[in-house]
Structure formats: structure tokens, C-alpha cells
Chains A and B, each alone.
Chain A
Amino acid sequence: MNRIFTKFEELKGAGRKGFIPFVTAGDPDVATSLSIVLKLAEMGAAVIELGVPFSDPMADGPTIQRSSRRALDRGTSLNDVLRLAADFRKKSDVPLVLFSYFNPILSFGLDDFRKAASGAGIDGVLLTDVIENEAAALSAKFATVDIDLISLIAPTTTDERLKSICEPARGFVYAVSRAGVTGAQETTSAAAKTLVTRARRFTDLPIAVGFGISTAAQITDVWSYADAAVVGSAIVSEIEKANDPVAAVEKFVGQLLPLFKKNGDKTVPDEVT
């Protein structure tokens, strides 16, 4: 059983929900990214999504586009991201999911990647632009080294597709909250709840909701119907603005999850107990 499964079992046993932060690896630089993800782990992240920077992030809004650009301008490669993951793994057991477009992985070589990712302690891989047969083939390949290919579902996904995506899914299911690109918003669309309810019919896996989540109120709302909330652009935006990104992330996530900050990951937020 890999760390994603174990973590969600643990949360479930404690009657808790998960917080999944996303950061772009290499923004502002690889060493700082490592400090940021270690801080996020310490603050109680259930899973950490590590973004592999890509030159053409067509599913991302301006915030993550800019952070990818900054990481690439620093020369961050997939190799660097895997080294970052390995360094993280020496110090933390929090599950890591690589969040990437397909081309950097394809260019690395699928077999080489599988080996390297497994060696670096990666637990899951989420590919924004791989679906259907190609996803099924990759999922089987990654499963041989106990890496979960995380499946995405969207409000536009039909019931027939939900079934075909959710039934063979591994790790957790990532529900995209709305039609659109990544980016912080004030409210989460009602479509997210509907989608999670629909998906429950086809899977017992945990379901995480992402895209557009940036406030404590939104997280509380998502926790009322899903198993975890993903916060990406809002954190990346803090990193972009800050002189001291680690402190900025700590402060931001602290106010996002006030109880986590005080008592570490043992605390159960009142709303979801």
C-alpha cells in the first residue's frame, strides 16, 4: 500500500479531511521549493502536489503560467524536480504527487521516468493532458512501481465517462471544480458538489476538489462534501509576491487552516468533526 492510500485511511479513521497544497517546483528556486514543501508537510498537508514546470501550460491560468516561466528561467528540469522529491522524502512521509503536462515525462522516457520517480519517493502522478486509452496504459505502467496515476474528472464529464474513469482510478480522484483553467477565485462553483456526488456512485476512493480554491471558507465548504481540498494558485501567488516565500506560505496557509497552525496535524477543525 502506498503513502496516498495510507494517508487517506488515516484521515478517514480520524474523521478528518485533507488539505492538498500545490507548488511549482523550482519557483523561485529548487532549494526554496524544498523548504516550502517541508513547511507544508509540517503544517499538516495530507498530500503535496509538486508542479513540473512546462513551457506551454495550456490548462493553467496566469499565476501558474508565470510561476512555470520563473522556474524554467532558472533552468528547472524534471531531473531537478525528482531530486527535490528525493530530498523531501528523506525528511517526510507526506505523499507526493507530481503534477505535470505529458511532454516533459514523454521526453524523459516513460520507463526511465517510472524508475526515477519511484526511486525519488513519488507516490502519484497527475497528467493534465493524458486521458482515455493513453491514461489507462500509463496507469498500468506506473502501478508496477506502486505509483498512482491520479485521474481527473470535470463538470463536463458525462456519467458514462465518470464510470470509465472512476472505476479503474487509483489513489484518489481529482475533481476539477469548474470549467476553466487554474486560478484563485472567491467562491467555489456549485458544479463541484454536484460532480463529487455524481462520482461517488462509481468509486469509493477519496475525492479531492481543486481549481479556484483560495480561502478558508471555500476549504470548509469543500470539506463538507469531498475528502480533500487542493489549493494551488493562491499559494503560488504568495510565493510570487514574497521576499521570504517560506514565511509567506507559512503565514498564508496558517490563516487558511488556523487550527493546523496551532496544533499541528493532530487537530480536527471543528467544522468537519
Chain B
Amino acid sequence: MNYEPDEYGYWGEYGGRFVPETLVAPLDELATGYFTVRDDPDFRAEFNDLLQNYVGRPSPLYFAKRLTETLGGAKIYLKREDLNHTGAHKINNCVGQILLARRMGKKRIIAETGAGQHGVATATVCALFGLECVVYMGTEDMRRQEVNVFRMRLLGAEVRGVDSGSRTLKDAINEALRDWVTNVDTTYYLLGSALGPHPYPLMVRDFQCIIGREAREQILEKEERLPDVLVACVGGGSNSIGLFHPFLNDESVRMIGVEAGGRGGNLGEHAARFMDGGNVGVLQGTKSYLLQDENGQIAMTHSVSAGLDYASIGPEHAFLHDTTRIEYASANDEEALAAFKTLSEMEGIIPALESSHAVAHAIKIAPDLGRDQIMIVNLSGRGDKDINTVQEELRRKHDQ
């Protein structure tokens, strides 16, 4: 099956471009720019060279032996995106987009960030190429991801706090869009997830597909067969679509996207778009599933992990959800925190709270799968940025 969007950026009924007229010209320019480089050998060579020598790819596919033995079920492999330069999968997309921005002659780069990983990765590639960098970040996220704010500033980026709405990722995207609409001539918007208006969801997915392509090769080398299950967390959906996409036509491979279950099932307490309360709508340039109230106002969301704390989901995910090619599950705050601890203690790997949601789901289902089953979990980022949050949460729990 063909999983490409149509020429307007639609996967089925999802995607498209829902933007103010002012942004049409820059989006057209971006699409033209991207489709020019997409299959250009020089561009690909430059991209691959940076991935190898700057990012440190390929990232290892690591067999989590103790975790596997303890759970007593499927063999668990971790795709170690946490070992990338800057500590998460976000850098893959940033390297691709910064090369594009350079070819388009843009000198000023803006980005949004939730957990700060995309902001750090953007600040990093801007430093690498000497470009001006402004990162929008919700003030609630700045509080809980303080280390990343400092990292971005060290890298020479200007971090602008966003005080509107829930002061998280969604609000940072609004503010980045407002900046872009005001500075269209000079500015490149380096969007960090498989979200937003066409061509972003396609372009970001393409750049992240390196994860799945490598994982496919690595597992075939190690096990001489395809995996049975892939598990990845889904905020906007870039790390998961990057892992899943190269396997979509392998019918035997089951794929599970794990959303943030937060602290409860009511609207406002979680960020699971495919749970009750999520239905189709338009937000920030794209049509997809949204957490919204009965009046079409975007709902507040909650997750212990800033990177999953978002009311919408990438349009390709919405499509793959409806076709049932990908299954979606959720892990709540508590399960993610427990998985964070488990992986740290059992494998010596401190995962990002976002990735901990994927680990939590793996821990949940692995025991029920046979020992002959193979599972790959995308460890999309490392958890250094989260130690303060985890400390706070554990202390709170202890006090209760």
C-alpha cells in the first residue's frame, strides 16, 4: 500500500493546509524547496554525512537482556535515539531542515519546543551553521525543563517564554506561527514534529524515517527476521512515525503508538487524542484528531512529560489509526514514572519521560507475548532533562 499523502498533503481526510493566507506563499516556497531536495543526491549525501559524523548515526539497536529476562516474554530491543548528539531523535529532523533552510537562503530560524529537545536540537544546528535562532517555549515547560532552557541559551539561541493558554507546546506553536506570519520574508520555521500544515508532516516524517530504516536493517542482521511488535510514544508523532513508516508494508509487524494517559480519563487530565474526548478538527494548520470541548475549543491537556503534552496528533497518525494499521494505547503518568525507574535500574539507561511511556507499554505487554517474539521499543530520548521533574514527583508521592 502507498502511504504517501496526496498533492495537497492529505492522508485520507487528514492533513492539508489550514493557515492564514499570508502563510501560503512561504509554505509553497517550502514545499517547492523540499521537493527539489527530496531526491537530490547531493542533498542526501550532505544529510547522511552529518547524520553519521555529527549526530553519530547509526544509533545502536540494543538488546535489553535483563529487562527481557525479568519480564519473561518477548525479546526487547531498544532503538537508542537517546544516544544521538543532543540526546533525542529530534536532531535528525533538524539536520534535514537546516540544510533545506540554507539552500533556501534563510538566515533566521524559529522553532517551538515542548520538552526542549527540539529547541536544543534547533539551537544546535543553528550554532553549527551560524544562523540566528529564536525558540518559543511555554513558561510551564520552561519551568519543568529548565536544563534545556539553559542548554539552548548556551548554544546561542534566544528562548522566548509563552504565557498564553496552558503555557505548553500548543501555545509555543501558536507564537511561532505568529512570528512566522510577521517575518515571512526572512524567516524559516523549523517545526519539530510531524504536525502542522503541508508539507511539514511529510517532510518531518521523511527525515525521521532514518530511525526505522536503520532498525529494520539492524534487526534483520541480528535476528535474521522482522520484528513482531514496534512500540513508540506519540506526542505530535515524529519519533513513532519515523520508526513505524519503513515497516508499514510489512504486514506481520504490529505497531503500537503510546499516548500520554496523564492523571485520569477526563478531558483536561491527559493528552490521549484517540481516547474519549478526541475527535476530528482543525488546529495549527492541519486536520486531525483533537482534544476539544463541545464548542470546538481546544482542551487543556496534561502529561508528566512536556513532549507528549499536546492536544492534537500528526495527520498521518490519524489516518493510520482509522485504517487500524497502527494500534494506539496509552500509559499514564504513574506508569511512565515507574518505567523510568525500571529502565534506569535494570539497564543503566535513564530514558526521557516521553520515551518512558513507550517503555511502560512494553513492560505491560511483553510478559504476555511469547519468548520467541521480538519487540523494538523506540527510546526516543534520554532522561537527563527530566531528573528534576522525577525527583519532584517521587518526593510528592513519598509525602502523600
Shortest C-beta distance, B397 to chain A (Å), equals 32
Q: Of A55, A102, A128, A154, which one neighbours B297 at CB under 8 angstroms?
A: A55
Shortest C-beta distance, B72 to chain A (Å), equals 46
B282 at the interface (CB under 8 A from A): yes
B-side interface residues, number (CB < 8 Å) = 38
Q: Are B297 and A131 in contact (CB under 8 A)?
A: no
Binds B, one of A57-65, A115-123, A231-239, A241-249: A57-65
Q: What residues of A have a CB within 8 angstroms of the CB of B296 in the complex?
A: 54, 78, 103-108
Q: Are A107 and B18 in contact (CB under 8 A)?
A: no
Q: Are A131 and B24 in contact (CB under 8 A)?
A: yes
Closest to A174 in B: B21
Residue among A77, A129, A153, A154 with the highest chain B CB neighbour number at 10 A: A129
Contact with A along B194-213 (1 / 0, CB 8 A): 00000000000000000000
A55 touching B165 in the complex, CB below 8 Å, given contacts A103-B290, A106-B296, A181-B181 = yes
Contact with B along A48-91 (1 / 0, CB 8 A): 00000011111101000100010010000111000000000000
Shortest C-beta distance, B301 to chain A (Å), equals 12
Closest to A155 in B: B22
Closest to B296 in A: A107
Q: Are A156 and B182 in contact (CB under 8 A)?
A: no
Given contacts A56-B171, A79-B295, A102-B282, 10 further A-B contacts (CB under 8 A): A55-B298, A56-B170, A59-B178, A103-B283, A106-B281, A107-B281, A130-B18, A133-B8, A156-B22, A180-B181
A132 at the interface (CB under 8 A from B): yes
Q: List 22 A-B contacts (CB under 8 A).
A: A56-B174, A58-B20, A58-B173, A58-B174, A78-B296, A102-B282, A103-B282, A103-B283, A103-B292, A107-B294, A129-B19, A131-B19, A133-B8, A152-B21, A156-B21, A156-B22, A156-B24, A156-B26, A157-B21, A176-B22, A179-B182, A181-B178
Residue among B17, B18, B24, B182 with the highest chain A CB neighbour number at 10 A: B18
Q: What residues of A have a CB within 8 angstroms of the CB of B295 in the complex?
A: 77-79, 104, 107-108
3 A-B pairs with the lowest CB-CB distances in the bound complex, closest first: A107-B296, A104-B296, A156-B25
Shortest C-beta distance, B242 to chain A (Å), equals 26
Q: Of A69, A107, A129, which one neighbours B292 at CB under 8 angstroms?
A: A107
A134 at the interface (CB under 8 A from B): yes
Closest to B164 in A: A65
Shortest C-beta distance, B89 to chain A (Å), equals 26
Q: Are B177 and A157 in contact (CB under 8 A)?
A: no
A-side interface residues, number (CB < 8 Å) = 41
B284 at the interface (CB under 8 A from A): yes
Q: Are A61 and B24 in contact (CB under 8 A)?
A: no
Q: What residues of A have a CB within 8 angstroms of the CB of B280 in the complex?
A: 106
Q: Are A56 and B21 in contact (CB under 8 A)?
A: no
B184 at the interface (CB under 8 A from A): yes
A194 at the interface (CB under 8 A from B): no
Q: In the bound complex, what is the Cα–Cα distance between A70 and B298 (angstroms)?
A: 15
Q: Are A129 and B282 in contact (CB under 8 A)?
A: yes
Q: In the bound complex, what is the Cα–Cα distance between A176 and B20 (angstroms)?
A: 10
B381 at the interface (CB under 8 A from A): no
Shortest C-beta distance, B298 to chain A (Å), equals 5
Q: Of B16, B17, B18, B185, which one neighbours A179 at CB under 8 angstroms?
A: B185
Q: In the bound complex, what is the Cα–Cα distance between A76 and B298 (angstroms)?
A: 14
Closest to B22 in A: A154
Shortest C-beta distance, A258 to chain B (Å), equals 32
A56 touching B284 in the complex, CB below 8 Å, given contacts A103-B290, A131-B21, A133-B8 = yes
Contact with A along B276-312 (1 / 0, CB 8 A): 0000111111000010101111100000000000000
Q: Of B17, B182, B290, B298, which one neighbours A180 at CB under 8 angstroms?
A: B182
Q: In the bound complex, what is the Cα–Cα distance between A65 and B177 (angstroms)?
A: 14
Q: What residues of B have a CB within 8 angstroms of the CB of A131 in the complex?
A: 17-19, 21, 24
Shortest C-beta distance, B315 to chain A (Å), equals 14
A161 at the interface (CB under 8 A from B): yes
Residue among B183, B184, B295, B297 with the highest chain A CB neighbour number at 10 A: B295
Q: What residues of A have a CB within 8 angstroms of the CB of B182 in the complex?
A: 179-181
* Residues of A173-224 contacting chain B, CB below 8 A: 176, 179-181
Closest to A128 in B: B20
Q: What residues of A have a CB within 8 angstroms of the CB of B284 in the complex?
A: 56, 58
Q: Of A56, A61, A104, A154, which one neighbours B20 at CB under 8 angstroms?
A: A154
A158 at the interface (CB under 8 A from B): yes
* Residues of B17-37 contacting chain A, CB below 8 A: 17-26
A102 touching B170 in the complex, CB below 8 Å, given contacts A56-B284, A78-B296, A157-B24 = no
Q: What residues of B have a CB within 8 angstroms of the CB of A107 in the complex?
A: 281, 292, 294-296
* Residues of B156-191 contacting chain A, CB below 8 A: 164-165, 170-171, 173-174, 177-178, 181-185
Q: In the bound complex, what is the Cα–Cα distance between A55 and B164 (angstroms)?
A: 10
Shortest C-beta distance, A98 to chain B (Å), equals 13
Q: What residues of A have a CB within 8 angstroms of the CB of B22 in the complex?
A: 154-156, 176, 179-180
Q: What residues of B have a CB within 8 angstroms of the CB of A77 in the complex?
A: 295
Q: What residues of A have a CB within 8 angstroms of the CB of B164 in the complex?
A: 65, 69
Q: Are B18 and A129 in contact (CB under 8 A)?
A: yes
Q: Are A134 and B165 in contact (CB under 8 A)?
A: no
Q: Are A179 and B285 in contact (CB under 8 A)?
A: no
Q: What residues of A have a CB within 8 angstroms of the CB of B285 in the complex?
A: 129
A103 touching B281 in the complex, CB below 8 Å, given contacts A56-B298, A152-B20 = yes
Q: Are A56 and B283 in contact (CB under 8 A)?
A: yes
Q: In the bound complex, what is the Cα–Cα distance between A69 and B166 (angstroms)?
A: 12
Closest to B175 in A: A58
Q: Of B18, B21, B173, B183, which one neighbours A154 at CB under 8 angstroms?
A: B21
Q: Of A105, A106, A158, A181, which one neighbours B25 at CB under 8 angstroms?
A: A158
Q: What residues of B have a CB within 8 angstroms of the CB of A152 in the complex?
A: 20-21
Closest to B166 in A: A55
